[in-house]
Each structure stands twice: as structure tokens, then as C-alpha cells.
Amino acid sequence: MITTALSEAFGQYTLKPHQIVPLDFHSVDTLPETHVWPPPPGPELVNTAAGDGQLVFPVPVIDFSVPEDSSGKLMVEACETWGVFQLVNHGIPLEILAAVEAQTKRLFALPASRKLEALRSPNGVNGYGQARFASLFDKNMWNEGFTVMGSPADHARKLWPDDYQGFCDVIEDYQKRMRELAARLLGLILRSANTPAQEIRRISSPSATMTTLQLNSYPPCPDPTRAMGMAPHTDTSFLTLLYQGGVKGLQIFSDRGGGGGGGGWGMVDPVDGGITVNVGDLLHVVSNARFHTARHRVVLREARQRVSVGLFFVPTADCVLSPLACGGGGGEGEVCRYRAVSVKEYIGLKYKGFETVLSAITK
């Protein structure tokens, strides 16, 4: 029922077939005009010391094996400043990360005709296709995805009719482990920010939260400097936990690195075996804007495939959120920046105004 409710929240925005079906990337040797992006506004910061002309932002790398008092404080500071940190010694075995990366590559290596057997429905969330928010942009992105909300079995059977169980076993094990990690992280961050225990339980209990898993592939591109792997956006989540693999591409926008005070884009260089954690819109809201929702994108710079696996830790669709500081949580007397909003309403507002959704709930 929980997954159905969130699927319905997204599914009220029906897509057209061309908004779902990715390009057959293996059938083209030049960049189609439909995938040529104009130069993005704002500076792209350059640091020649980075080796490839891309600035690498020094986002915190946090060791989860140290005492929680210390790691929790560091997480709060990272959420306040960057909205992103990388987590090491997180308890997810390296062989599990390698297995999910291998299954992701196995999926996207299938012929286009086979992948289309598992195509997402026009009002669905699960299955193969372009990212749902791709429909909000004029140009197409150079990626393909596979979304798992609940069990992947129905779609996996269409991909591998006689050999789908191995994929399901790896994906379901990964989902379970990452959900447990996400719940621990959210609880620790909120406790370290002096949020009352009853408020933490209300918004982060198993019955109040769920996960969506997103497998992404960014194939080699014939003209990567004019294409966009993933357009700039923020996540509709409490937290997003991303395994990047070993290929760079994820950038965040930050004022902290900007020349002339204007801000700019910088790379989040993947740490071996690390998990990249970023703040989503909904944690930004409940923190009363204390935590910075991370605006990010994926650029194409390497002439090889990049895959990533993101887990979105989200409240259920009917959950009503408002700044916890205004309910006695960690900031008595603080002025609320946002009104109360249900997750379902927030999703609707984001589809109507992708760049202005937070303004729509500002008091």
C-alpha cells in the first residue's frame, strides 16, 4: 500500500511515449540535435590542478566507524554547508557494491529491444526509461534508467525470462541494506541537530518512510561537452544515497567555491568504496532551511560508460511535513520558513514549477 500510494502520487502526471523511451545509444555515432544542450548559465569553475579541467569540491568524507557523537556532528555540518558528504566504513560490504554495479551493467548491456520489454508505463514509476523529470526539459539527457519501487521481479522477468532471480536477489539485498543505512543516517542527523525523539520517530519510522532505487547508465557519448548526463535538479527525498562507482560525473552547485561570489559547479570525486549522501528537498523543509538541499547534475567527461545506483529515502505520500523547529524541535521561537505540506502535494507542486517549488510553500 505504501509503494502504491507514492506511485499514484507520481502517476497522476501521465507521460507520453517519447518522454519515456530513451535513445538507442548504441545505434548513433553523432550527437542528435535533440540531445545538444546549450552552455549552462553561470560559471563552470576551472581548476587546472584537477587534471581534467574540472574543479573538485572538497565535500566532507565522513568515517561512519567513529563514535556517533563525532560523526553526527560532522554530518550536520556537511548538511548545513554543502548539502553533500561522502560516507566511508558505512557497513555495506564492497562485494555487495560490486555485485549491484555488475547487475546494473548487465541490465544496460541488453539490446534496446529487450530493455523496452520492461518499459515504464505512461503513469508508472517502475521499470526502464528516461527519468520522470526529464519531461520537464526541452532537451533530452544522455542517460537511461531503471526504477525499482518494491520488488523488481515483474520487470526483471521481462528482461531475463529464464534468468532473472540473480538480479532480483542482488537488488533486493542492496535495497534492504541501504534502507537500513539511510534510516540510521537520518536518525543520527536529526538527533545531532537536537530534534526531539518523538518528532524523529514520527517522520522516520518504517511505517512513515519508503525507498525508491534508481539504476542509471551514462553510455559513452560522441560529443560529451555538448551533452548533459543528468540535468540540474534537486531530489524529492529526505536523503539520497548514491553509489557512484569509479567514474566521475556528479557535480553540485555551491556558493562556497564560486569565483567572484557567484557560485559555480564542482565535481564530487567518488571515494573508493564510498557512498555519496545528499540532502533532499524534504529534509531541507523539515530542517527549516538549516540543511542545504543539494542542486546537482551529471556531466559527461570520460569516454566510457558510467553507472550509478541511487537510493531515495522518502516519506510516504500522505505524510504531512513542516519545519520541526516550529513544533518545539531544536529551535524554540524560530520563525517557520515553510508551511505544512503533504508529500503528494509537494510532488504536484514540483511538477508544476520545478525551479520554484520551495517558493510555493514559503510562508
Would you please indicate which residues are annotated as catalytic (active-site) residues? Answer: 306
Q: Which of 179, 177, 181, 192 is nearest to 75 (CA)?
A: 192
Place of cell 554543502: 82
Cα–Cα dist 73/30, whole Å? 48
Cα–Cα dist 95/173, whole Å? 12
Which distant-in-sequence residues (6+ apart) come within 8 Å of 311 by Cβ? 175, 178, 179, 182, 211, 212, 213, 214, 240, 241, 242
Cα–Cα dist 179/190, whole Å? 17
Which distant-in-sequence residues (6+ apart) come within 8 Å of 159 by Cβ? 107, 110, 114, 115, 117, 118, 167
Cα–Cα dist 131/101, whole Å? 19
